[in-house]
């Protein structure tokens, strides 16, 4: 399983996002390396379809893909509607993405 946390320099939510992903992987008994990808500029943001920091992707899919309407890419912070933690997606979104990726891998 490919797990990525994309972020910008000095993102205050970056460490918490990585820990949240680790916690979900552990709770789901999934062993996967978390790649932390520093988004350095707007060119890189556009090339990677970066929606803001932090962005969490499981097997290349944004954990908030279904609920994220804007397709703008920029080197900026990201807010997640429906989350009780500023700058982080709801843990349920991450868990759903991990479970879906695991199930897709067993088919």
Number of compact structural domains in the chain: 1
Report the pLDDT averaged over residues 4-28: 97
> pTM here?
0.89
Could you give the percent of the chain with pLDDT greater than 90?
71
Q: What is the pLDDT of residues 78-92, one digit of tens each?
A: 888 777 788 899 999
- Dig out the tokens for 29 from the structure: 């008994």
**Range of the structural domain that residue 49 is part of:** 3-105
Peptide bond into 54 cis (omega under 30): yes
Instruction: Summarize the confidence of residues 2-15 as an average pLDDT.
Output: 96
């Amino acid at each position: 399983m490919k797990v990525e946390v994309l972020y910008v320099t000095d993102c205050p939510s970056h460490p918490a996002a990585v820990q949240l992903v680790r916690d979900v992987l552990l709770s789901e008994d999934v062993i996967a390396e978390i790649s932390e990808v520093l988004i350095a500029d707007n060119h890189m943001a556009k090339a990677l379809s970066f929606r803001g920091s932090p962005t969490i992707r499981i097997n290349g899919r944004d954990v908030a893909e279904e609920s994220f309407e804007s397709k703008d890419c920029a080197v900026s912070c990201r807010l997640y509607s429906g989350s009780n933690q500023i700058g982080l997606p709801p843990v349920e979104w991450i868990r759903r993405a991990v479970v879906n990726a695991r199930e897709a891998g067993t088919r």
